[in-house]
């Protein structure tokens, strides 16, 4: 059966989160390449990943401070109610119900919320359950009513985020669940220009994408760097690179850096560094792939980005924060999801306490030492990445399978 779509096949991508939008945008581009007409309806935020990929989004979008992660705490839930995010979500669902009949297929990327939305639309659908994994508990406990909806005959295909989950869900649901790879990992594999300098090792900082959380996270990371031993501080020994989102501008960073004793040197709007004694931190905008590909170790307060690093076989050192995303609970769940390649210093108290920061600096030094002298560990990290994330090319495989099923249904 041909992987090319029949002319005019219309598909709607439905996703509910920043990482989900990234995967959705990659799938949408691949579907366009196969001849489909594709649009997107992000349920959370502006859907910038779709916009950057040239995928049209439906309706007027909004962004909220919780980034759709209010469920991680009581304060987050209350914040979403006060800010009107619940009403916004309901308005997005109402829009979906109005326009659903224009599309031959709805492709869900996310969790139970878009699964419910697709079921309510009464349109044929395919689901990429990127938010769930059996690695969390050993057997996936799907939230109600997700399990019942995934058995619906309107659901043409289910894709999981790892093979362990595919096997588990196939047994639970009594229908095939496929693992074809993770589209979000393909975003980490694009070619990148070399980072500046030629140090013995490189450390990448991943403070996240949501403001103001990312700025608070960067502050904690700078305080960890201040605790590095003297032998790691020269730029020739350890190159330091922070992958920053465009919204975290030099103007946003400068007051924070000054308060902590760092000096900002600006060469151009897209190239600058922070300096504190012998420490030099290169600030990198639009170079996320270069940072995670070329750094030996990643200090991370992220979700999807940490998963991409694990897929590359890189060790990830977590630093727990105040959230709304990267809390102690989120970090602990991420370690269960991604396995022993993700580590975190013990923390007893509020984020940013001395024990947490000192422990993170010590663990950072230990991991860099392991990277230099333990080749079997590096092999284990590569194997872990293949097991938990998979290989590249998941986007193309998933898009081709979606189109095959779409074409097959038209001939049934």
pLDDT digits 0-9 by tens, 35-58: 999 999 999 878 889 999 999 999
Determine the Cα–Cα distance for residues 380 and 375; give it in Å rounded to an integer: 9
In a domain, 222, yes or no: yes
In a domain, 194, yes or no: no
Determine the Cα–Cα distance for residues 155 and 32; give it in Å rounded to an integer: 21
Determine the straight-line distance between the first and last CA of the chain, rounded to whole angstroms. 13
Determine the Cα–Cα distance for residues 364 and 345; give it in Å rounded to an integer: 9
Contacts by 96-100, CB closer than 8 A, 24 or more apart: 96/12, 96/14, 96/41, 96/120, 96/121, 97/121, 99/12, 99/41, 99/58, 100/12
Q: Are residues 80 and 132 in the same domain?
A: yes
Q: Which residue has the tokens 């399990």?
A: 147
In a domain, 2, yes or no: no
Enter the pTM of the model. 0.90
Q: Are residues 268 and 398 in the same domain?
A: no
Give the 3-state secondary structure of 123-163: CCEEEECCCCCCCCCCCCCCCCCHHHHHCCCCEEEEECCCH
Q: What is the secondary structure of 318-366 as a DSSP string?
A: E---S-SSS-HHHHHHHHHHH-TTEEE----SSTT-HHHHHHHHHHHHH
Q: What is the mean pLDDT of residues 180-203?
A: 94
Q: Are residues 213 and 175 in the same domain?
A: no
In a domain, 31, yes or no: yes
In a domain, 327, yes or no: yes
In a domain, 193, yes or no: no
Find residue 291's DSSP bridge partners. Answer: none
Determine the Cα–Cα distance for residues 392 and 372; give it in Å rounded to an integer: 27
Which pLDDT value is given to residue 70? 45
CA distances (Å), origin 331, targets 345, 353, 364: 11, 17, 17
pLDDT band of residue 350 (cuts 50, 70, 90) is confident
Burial of 101 (0-12, 13-18, 19+ CB in 10 A): exposed
High-pLDDT (> 70) share of the chain, %:
92
Lowest mean pLDDT among 184-198, 257-271, 314-328: 257-271
247: closest CA among 206, 212, 222? 212
Q: Are residues 241 and 310 in the same domain?
A: yes
Please say if the pLDDT value at position 82 is more than 70.
no
In a domain, 365, yes or no: yes
CA distances (Å), origin 186, targets 18, 22, 363: 16, 10, 29
Which pLDDT value is given to residue 410? 60
Which pLDDT value is given to residue 170? 97
Please say if the pLDDT value at position 76 is more than 60.
no
65 Rama class: left (phi>0) / alpha (psi -120 to 50) / beta: alpha
Which pLDDT value is given to residue 275? 97
Q: Are residues 285 and 404 in the same domain?
A: no
Q: Which residue has the tokens 């769930």?
A: 132
pLDDT band of residue 269 (cuts 50, 70, 90) is low
Determine the Cα–Cα distance for residues 279 and 235; give it in Å rounded to an integer: 7
pLDDT band of residue 2 (cuts 50, 70, 90) is low
Q: Are residues 133 and 236 in the same domain?
A: no
Q: Are residues 314 and 341 in the same domain?
A: yes
Which pLDDT value is given to residue 71? 46
Which pLDDT value is given to residue 18? 85
Which pLDDT value is given to residue 65? 55
Q: What is the mean pLDDT of residues 108-120?
A: 95
Reduced to 3 states, what is the DSSP secondary structure of residue 243? strand
Q: Are residues 363 and 397 in the same domain?
A: no
Q: Are residues 170 and 143 in the same domain?
A: yes
Determine the Cα–Cα distance for residues 299 and 203; give it in Å rounded to an integer: 7
Top-confidence residue, 193 or 410: 193
In a domain, 115, yes or no: yes
Lowest mean pLDDT among 159-173, 200-214, 260-274, 386-400: 260-274
Q: Are residues 131 and 230 in the same domain?
A: no
Q: Are residues 230 and 243 in the same domain?
A: yes
Which pLDDT value is given to residue 84? 56
Please say if the pLDDT value at position 136 is more than 80.
yes
Please say if the pLDDT value at position 88 is more than 90.
no
Structural domains of the chain, count: 2
Q: What is the mean pLDDT of residues 125-131?
A: 96
Which pLDDT value is given to residue 78? 45
Please say if the pLDDT value at position 182 is more than 70.
yes
Top-confidence residue, 81 or 397: 397
Lowest mean pLDDT among 195-209, 264-278, 356-370: 264-278
Which pLDDT value is given to residue 409? 67
Please say if the pLDDT value at position 61 is more than 90.
no
Give Cβ neighbours of residue 332 (< 8 Å, ≥ 6 apart).
344
Q: Are residues 242 and 362 in the same domain?
A: yes
Identify the CATH number of the domain in which residue 53 sits: 3.40.50.2000
Provide the mean pLDDT of the chain: 91
Range of the domain at 70: 10-187+392-411
């Amino acid at each position: 059966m041909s992987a090319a779509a029949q002319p005019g096949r219309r598909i709607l991508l439905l996703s509910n989160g920043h990482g989900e939008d990234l995967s959705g945008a990659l799938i949408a581009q691949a579907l366009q390449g196969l001849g489909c007409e594709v649009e997107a309806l992000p349920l959370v935020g502006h859907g910038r990943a779709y916009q950057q990929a040239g995928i049209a989004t439906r309706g007027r979008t909004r962004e909220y401070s919780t980034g759709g992660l209010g469920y991680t705490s009581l304060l987050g839930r209350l914040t979403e109610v006060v800010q009107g995010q619940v009403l916004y979500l309901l308005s997005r669902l109402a829009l979906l119900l109005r326009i659903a009949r224009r599309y031959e297929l709805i492709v869900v990327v996310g969790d139970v919320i878009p699964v419910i939305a697709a079921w309510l639309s009464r349109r044929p659908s395919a689901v990429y359950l990127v938010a769930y994994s059996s690695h969390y508990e050993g057997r996936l406990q799907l939230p109600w009513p997700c399990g019942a909806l995934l058995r619906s005959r309107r659901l043409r295909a289910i894709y999981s985020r790892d093979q362990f989950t595919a096997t588990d869900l196939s047994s639970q649901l009594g229908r095939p669940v496929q693992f074809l790879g993770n589209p979000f990992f393909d975003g980490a594999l694009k070619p990148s220009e070399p980072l500046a300098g030629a140090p013995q090792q490189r450390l990448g900082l991943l403070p996240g994408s949501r403001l103001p959380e990312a700025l608070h996270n960067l502050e904690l990371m700078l305080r960890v760097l201040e605790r590095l031993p003297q032998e790691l501080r020269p730029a020739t020994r350890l190159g330091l690179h922070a992958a920053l989102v465009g919204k975290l501008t030099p103007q946003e960073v400068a007051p924070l850096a000054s308060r902590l004793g760092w000096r900002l040197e600006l060469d151009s709007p897209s190239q600058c560094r922070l300096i504190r004694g012998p420490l030099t931190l290169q600030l990198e905008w639009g170079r996320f792939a270069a940072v995670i590909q070329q750094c030996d170790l990643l200090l991370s307060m992220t979700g999807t980005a940490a998963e991409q690093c694990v897929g590359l076989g890189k060790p990830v050192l977590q630093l727990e924060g105040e959230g709304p995303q990267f809390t102690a609970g989120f970090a602990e769940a991420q370690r269960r999801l991604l396995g022993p390649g993700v580590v975190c210093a013990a923390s007893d108290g509020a984020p940013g306490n001395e024990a947490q920061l000192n422990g993170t600096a010590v663990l950072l030094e230990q991991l860099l030492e392991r990277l230099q002298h333990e080749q079997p560990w590096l092999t284990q990290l590569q194997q872990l990445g293949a097991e938990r994330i998979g290989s590249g090319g998941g986007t193309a495989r998933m898009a081709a399978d979606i189109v095959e099923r779409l074409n097959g249904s038209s001939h049934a």
